[in-house]
C-alpha cells in the first residue's frame, strides 16, 4: 500500500484538528525511508505498529469529535474517550518501560514477537518532515562549531568528513553547503547515494577514497564547495583517511549507530549478508558492528589529535563503541569527542531556541511562502532567522507536504503561530497549518548521551522534564501529545515528549497555540535556568521586559 498525504481543502474527518493529524500520519509515510514496512527513519523508527493499526487509526481519526481523545499505546489505537473540546485530540505513549526492563535484549525479543515498536522521536508522533527536520539542527550545529573553533567560520576552504545518508544523515551535505563547506560523506548503500544525488543533495558519487580526496582537495584550492558521496563502509574509510594523512576540518558521523543490530553495517559484510546474518546470528552482528564502530571512533580520535574538530552528532556512536573499548580508550573517547549538544547547542536550548517546524496542510507552496515570509519579517532583532529562511528556500529539496524547519525560541514560536492562525482565518493561507518540533528540544528530551549530556546540575538522566512537558502540553490543549522512550540501542537511554498544534484559524486554536507553545519552550528555559545556565536566566529576565514575545516566565529560584 502506498500512502501519500491528502492535499487541498476538503475534509475527510469531522474537523480540521483530526484531518490535520491524519495528513501528518500520511505525510510521515510519504516521506519515510521504508513506508511499505511503516518505517519512517533511523533504521527502525515506525509510524504505527502495523497496517491493521494504521487502518483503525485512520478510521478513528475520521470519526473523532472535538470533545473526544484518541488514545494510542505503542503505535496502536486502544480507545476513543470522551474528554472536552480543549483537550488533545490524540495522546500517545510509545515503548515506555520501567528501568530494569528497558534493556536491548527485552526490546528486541518483544519486537520480534510484534509486541512493541520503536517510534523514533518523530516517527510514531507523525511529526517527521524528511531530512529537513534535522537539517536546521545540523546547520546550527556546524555553524556553532565553526564559530567556536575558527576565526573565519563559513569558508569555502574547509571540509567535513562524515558518514550516513539516511533519513536524517542526508541533511549533512546540504547544511554544509549552506555554510560554504565541502563534504566527504561515506555511505554503504548505493541506493541512498543515488537518491540524494537525484535530489541534488550531493554533487557526485565516487567509489574510491583517493578519487574522493583529490576532488575535495581541488575544490578547496578553487574555493568552490563540493559534496562528495563515497560508497564504502565508514569503519574502513575513516581509518583509511587517517592513513592518507588528510586532515578534515570537521569530523563526525550520522550512521544509525545507536542500533548495533539494524543501524550500522559491520565491516566485511555486504548489505545482503548483513540482512541474512541479522536473522541467523543477531548477537554476532551486534558484536561485529560494535567492533567496527570502535575502529571508526579510533580513527576519529586520531583525526582529533591531528587537529580536526571532532564531535558526535546525536547517534550514540561513542556508547556503542564503548562496549568493546578498554577503560582507558573509553575515557579518551568521552573526553576528546564531545557530544553535539554540550559542545555547541546548549546555549540555544537555554533560550528555548530549538527545532520548531510548520507543515502546510493544503499542500500549496503559496501557503508555505506566506508562513516563511511571516517568519522572515517578524523577528528583525534576530536576523539569523531571515537568513535561514532564505537559505532553506534555496537549498532544501522538497519532500512531502510543504514544510519548514526553523530554530525559533521562547515566545517567537507562539507569536509566529498566532500570526499564521490569523492568516488562515482571513484567507491569506488557504487551509490550516500544523506546528510541531523535534522531540530533541529544550524541555522535551532526556538522553544523557545526546540531548542532556553534561548538564550543569548533573540532571543528565533525569526524565522529570519531558514528563512535566507532556503534562503541561496536555493541559495547554495541544492537539497531539506524545511520550516516547527507548528502543534498540536507545533502550534505557531516553525519554522524550512531542507536540503538534493546529492553527485552523479559530479563536480556540489561538488559545491552544498561546498556551501549548509557550508552556513547551517556556519549560525548556526554566529547566536550563534551574540547572544554572546564565543564558536561560537572562531569557527568564527578558520575558518580563515590555514588548517581549511570550508570557512572562515566573521562575521560582531554589
Ligand atoms: P537511517 O537508518 O535512515 O540511515 C543510516 C544510514 O547509515 C543508512 O543509509 C545506512 O546505509 C548508513 N550506514 C550504516 N552503517 C554504515 C557504515 N558502517 N558505513 C557507511 N554507512 C553506513 O538513519 P537516520 O534517520 O539518518 O539517522 C541516523 C542517526 O542519527 C540515528 O542514530 C538517529 O538516531 C540519529 N539522529 C540524530 C539527530 C540529531 O539531532 N543529531 C536527529 C535525528 C536522528
Query: Would you state the pLDDT for residue 211?
Result: 98
Answer whether residue 558 is part of any domain: no
Residue 320 Cβ < 6 Å to ligand 1: no
Residue 165 Cβ < 6 Å to ligand 1: yes
477-508 pLDDT, tens digit per residue, is 999 999 999 888 899 999 999 999 999 999 99
- Do 87 and 197 lie in one domain? The reply is no
Helix (H, G, I), strand (E, B) or coil at 36: helix
How far apart, in whole angstroms, are the C-alpha atoms of residue 84 and residue 464?
Answer: 27
Answer whether residue 554 is part of any domain: no
Atom of ligand 1 nearest to the CA of 233: 19
Residue 92 Cβ < 6 Å to ligand 1: no
Smallest CA-to-CA distance from 451 within 519, 537, 349 is with 349
Helix (H, G, I), strand (E, B) or coil at 132: helix
Residue 336 CA, ligand 1 centroid: distance in Å: 22
Residue 235 Cβ < 6 Å to ligand 1: yes
How far apart, in whole angstroms, are the C-alpha atoms of residue 238 and residue 162?
Answer: 9
Which residues, in sequence order, are bridge partners of residue 435?
358, 501
Answer whether residue 150 is part of any domain: yes
Cell 580536526: give the residue: 308
How far apart, in whole angstroms, are the C-alpha atoms of residue 315 and residue 294?
Answer: 14
CA separation, residue 432 to residues 20, 236, 285, 435 (Å): 8, 48, 46, 10
How far apart, in whole angstroms, are the C-alpha atoms of residue 516 and residue 161?
Answer: 39
- Do 63 and 210 lie in one domain? The reply is no
Task: List own/partner pairs for 222-225 with CB under 8 A and 24 or more apart.
Answer: 223/156, 223/157, 224/156, 225/156, 225/176, 225/177, 225/180, 225/181, 225/182
Residue 410 CA, ligand 1 centroid: distance in Å: 30
Q: Are 310 and 252 in contact (CB under 8 A)?
A: yes
Residue 133 CA, ligand 1 centroid: distance in Å: 14
422-437 pLDDT, tens digit per residue, is 999 999 999 999 999 9
How far apart, in whole angstroms, are the C-alpha atoms of residue 309 and residue 307?
Answer: 6
- Do 357 and 288 lie in one domain? The reply is no
What are the two backbone dihedrals, phi and then psi, of residue 43, each rounded to the nearest 5 degrees?
75, -60
Number of structural domains (the chain) is 2
Query: Would you state the pLDDT for residue 343?
Result: 83
Answer whether residue 232 is part of any domain: yes
Q: Are 548 and 518 in contact (CB under 8 A)?
A: no
Domain boundary among 299, 317, 338: 338
Residue 187 CA, ligand 1 centroid: distance in Å: 10
Smallest CA-to-CA distance from 314 within 180, 174, 493, 497 is with 493
Smallest CA-to-CA distance from 70 within 27, 122, 111, 14 is with 14
- Do 120 and 139 lie in one domain? The reply is no
Answer whether residue 10 is part of any domain: no
Q: Are 497 and 444 in contact (CB under 8 A)?
A: yes
- Do 173 and 308 lie in one domain? The reply is yes
Cell 546540575: give the residue: 457
Cell 578547496: give the residue: 220
Query: Cβ contacts of residue 97 below 8 Å, gap of 6+?
Result: 106, 107, 485, 486, 491
- Do 141 and 114 lie in one domain? The reply is no
Among residues of the chain, what percentage have pLDDT more than 70?
100
Smallest CA-to-CA distance from 453 within 416, 483, 494 is with 494
- Do 209 and 281 lie in one domain? The reply is yes
Residue 50 Cβ < 6 Å to ligand 1: no
Set of cell numbers at residue 151:
576565526
Neighbours of 459 (CB within 10 A): 16
Smallest CA-to-CA distance from 119 within 480, 496, 464 is with 496
Atom of ligand 1 nearest to the CA of 164: 7
Substitution candidate for ligand 1 out of 256, 445, 498 with most atoms within 8 A of CB: 256
**DSSP secondary structure letters along 359-424:** EETT--HHHHHHHHHHHHHH-TT-HHHHHHHHHHHHH----SS-EEEEEE-TTHHHHHHHHHHHHH
Helix (H, G, I), strand (E, B) or coil at 93: strand
Answer whether residue 549 is part of any domain: no
> What CATH code is carried by the domain that includes residue 40?
3.40.1770.10
Residue 504 CA, ligand 1 centroid: distance in Å: 35
How far apart, in whole angstroms, are the C-alpha atoms of residue 89 and residue 86?
Answer: 9
Q: Are 473 and 497 in contact (CB under 8 A)?
A: yes
Q: Report the predicted TM-score, pTM, of the whole model to 2 decimal places.
A: 0.93
- Do 367 and 481 lie in one domain? The reply is yes
Answer whether residue 556 is part of any domain: no
Q: Are 321 and 297 in contact (CB under 8 A)?
A: yes
How far apart, in whole angstroms, are the C-alpha atoms of residue 407 and residue 389?
Answer: 10
Substitution candidate for ligand 1 out of 118, 121, 142, 169 with most atoms within 8 A of CB: 169
- Do 180 and 282 lie in one domain? The reply is yes
Containing domain of residue 197, as a range?
131-338
**Strands 495-503 and 480-485, sheet pairing:** antiparallel
391-415 pLDDT, tens digit per residue, is 999 999 899 999 999 999 999 999 9
> What CATH code is carried by the domain that includes residue 309?
3.40.50.10730
- Do 392 and 539 lie in one domain? The reply is yes
Query: Would you state the pLDDT for residue 288?
Result: 98
- Do 86 and 164 lie in one domain? The reply is no
What's the 3-state SS for 172-238?
HHHHHHHCCCEEEEEECCHHHHHHHHHCCCCCEEECCHHHHHHHHHHHHHCCCCCEEEEECCHHHHH
How far apart, in whole angstroms, are the C-alpha atoms of residue 489 and residue 474?
Answer: 29
Answer whether residue 371 is part of any domain: yes
How far apart, in whole angstroms, are the C-alpha atoms of residue 110 and residue 447?
Answer: 22
Which residue is catalytic, options 89, 174, 401, 406?
406
Please confirm, yes or no, whether 406 is among the known catalytic residues: yes
- Do 97 and 171 lie in one domain? The reply is no
Query: Would you state the pLDDT for residue 153?
Result: 65
Domain boundary among 305, 338, 371: 338
Q: For every one of its 558 residues, what pLDDT tens digit does the chain have, with 9 covering 90 and above?
A: 899 999 999 999 999 999 999 999 999 999 999 999 999 998 899 999 999 999 999 999 999 999 999 999 999 999 999 999 999 999 999 999 999 999 999 999 999 999 999 999 999 999 999 989 999 999 999 999 999 999 876 678 899 999 999 989 999 999 999 999 999 999 999 999 999 999 999 999 999 999 999 999 999 999 999 999 999 999 999 999 999 999 999 999 999 999 999 999 999 999 999 999 999 999 999 999 999 999 999 999 999 999 999 999 999 999 999 999 999 999 999 999 999 998 899 999 999 999 999 999 999 999 999 999 999 999 999 999 999 999 999 999 899 999 999 999 999 999 999 999 999 999 999 999 999 999 999 999 999 988 999 999 999 999 999 999 999 999 999 999 999 998 888 999 999 999 999 999 999 999 999 999 999 999 999 999 999 999 999 999 999 999 999 999 999 998
What is the radius of gyration, based on Cα positions, of the chain?
22
Domain boundary among 338, 360, 391: 338
Amino acid at each position: 500500500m502506498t500512502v501519500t498525504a491528502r492535499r487541498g481543502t476538503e475534509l475527510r474527518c469531522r474537523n480540521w484538528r483530526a484531518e490535520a493529524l491524519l495528513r501528518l500520519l500520511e505525510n510521515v509515510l510519504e516521506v519515510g525511508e521504508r513506508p511499505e514496512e511503516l518505517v519512517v527513519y533511523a533504521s527502525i523508527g515506525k509510524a504505527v505498529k502495523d497496517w491493521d493499526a494504521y487502518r483503525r487509526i485512520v478510521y478513528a481519526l475520521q470519526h473523532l469529535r472535538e470533545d473526544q481523545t484518541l488514545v494510542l499505546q505503542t503505535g496502536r489505537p486502544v480507545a476513543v474517550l470522551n474528554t472536552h473540546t480543549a483537550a488533545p485530540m490524540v495522546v500517545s505513549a510509545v515503548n515506555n518501560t520501567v528501568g530494569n526492563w528497558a534493556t536491548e535484549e527485552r526490546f528486541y525479543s518483544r519486537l520480534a514477537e510484534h509486541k512493541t515498536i520503536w517510534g523514533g522521536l518523530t516517527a510514531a508522533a507523525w511529526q517527521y518532515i524528511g531530512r529537513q527536520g534535522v537539517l536546521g539542527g545540523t546547520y546550527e550545529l556546524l555553524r556553532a562549531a565553526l564559530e567556536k573553533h575558527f576565526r573565519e567560520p563559513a569558508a569555502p576552504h574547509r571540509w567535513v568528513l562524515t558518514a550516513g545518508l539516511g533519513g536524517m544523515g542526508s541533511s549533512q551535505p546540504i547544511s554544509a553547503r549552506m555554510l560554504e563547506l565541502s563534504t566527504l560523506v561515506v555511505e554503504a548503500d548505493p541506493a541512498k547515494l543515488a537518491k540524494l544525488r537525484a535530489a541534488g543533495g550531493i554533487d557526485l558519487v565516487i567509489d574510491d577514497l583517493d578519487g574522493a580526496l583529490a576532488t575535495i582537495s581541488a575544490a578547496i584550492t578553487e574555493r568552490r564547495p563540493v559534496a562528495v558521496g563515497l560508497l564504502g563502509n565508514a569503519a574502513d574509510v575513516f581509518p583509511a583517511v587517517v592513513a592518507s594523512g588528510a586532515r578534515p576540518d570537521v569530523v563526525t558521523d550520522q550512521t544509525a549507530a545507536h542500533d548495533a543490530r539494524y543501524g550500522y553495517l559491520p565491516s566485511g559484510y555486504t548489505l545482503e549478508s548483513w540482512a541474512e546474518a541479522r536473522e541467523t546470528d543477531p548477537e554476532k552482528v551486534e558484536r561485529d558492528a560494535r567492533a567496527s564502530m570502535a575502529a571508526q571512533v579510533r580513527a576519529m580520535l586520531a583525526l582529533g589529535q591531528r587537529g580536526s574538530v571532532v564531535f558526535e552528532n546525536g547517534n550514540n556512536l561513542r556508547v556503542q563503541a564503548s562496549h568493546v573499548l578498554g577503560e582507558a580508550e573509553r575515557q579518551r573517547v568521552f573526553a576528546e569527542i564531545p557530544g553535539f549538544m554540550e559542545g555547541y547547542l546548549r546555549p540555544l536550548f537555554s533560550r528555548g531556541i530549538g527545532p520548531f517546524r510548520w507543515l502546510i496542510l493544503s499542500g500549496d507552496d503559496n501557503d508555505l511562502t506566506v508562513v516563511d515570509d511571516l517568519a522572515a519579517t517578524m523577528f528583525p532583532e534576530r536576523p539569523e532567522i531571515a537568513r535561514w529562511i532564505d537559505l532553506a528556500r534555496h537549498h532544501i529539496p522538497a519532500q512531502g507536504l510543504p514544510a519548514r524547519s526553523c530554530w525559533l525560541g521562547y515566545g517567537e514560536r507562539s507569536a509566529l503561530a498566532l500570526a499564521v492562525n490569523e492568516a488562515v482565518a482571513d484567507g491569506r493561507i488557504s487551509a490550516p497549518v500544523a506546528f510541531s518540533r523535534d522531540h530533541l528540544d529544550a524541555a522535551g528530551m532526556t538522553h544523557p548521551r545526546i540531548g542532556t549530556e553534561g548538564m550543569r546540575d548533573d540532571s543528565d538522566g533525569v526524565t522529570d522534564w519531558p514528563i512535566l512537558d507532556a503534562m503541561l502540553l496536555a493541559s495547554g490543549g495541544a492537539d497531539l501529545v506524545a511520550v516516547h522512550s527507548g528502543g534498540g540501542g536507545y533502550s534505557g537511554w531516553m525519554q522524550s515528549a512531542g507536540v503538534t498544534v493546529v492553527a485552523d484559524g479559530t479563536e480556540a486554536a489561538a488559545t491552544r497555540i498561546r498556551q501549548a507553545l509557550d508552556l513547551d519552550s517556556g519549560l525548556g528555559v526554566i529547566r536550563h535556568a534551574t540547572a544554572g545556565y546564565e543564558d536561560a536566566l537572562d531569557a527568564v529576565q527578558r520575558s518580563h521586559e515590555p514588548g517581549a514575545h511570550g508570557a512572562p516566565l515566573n521562575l521560582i529560584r531554589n
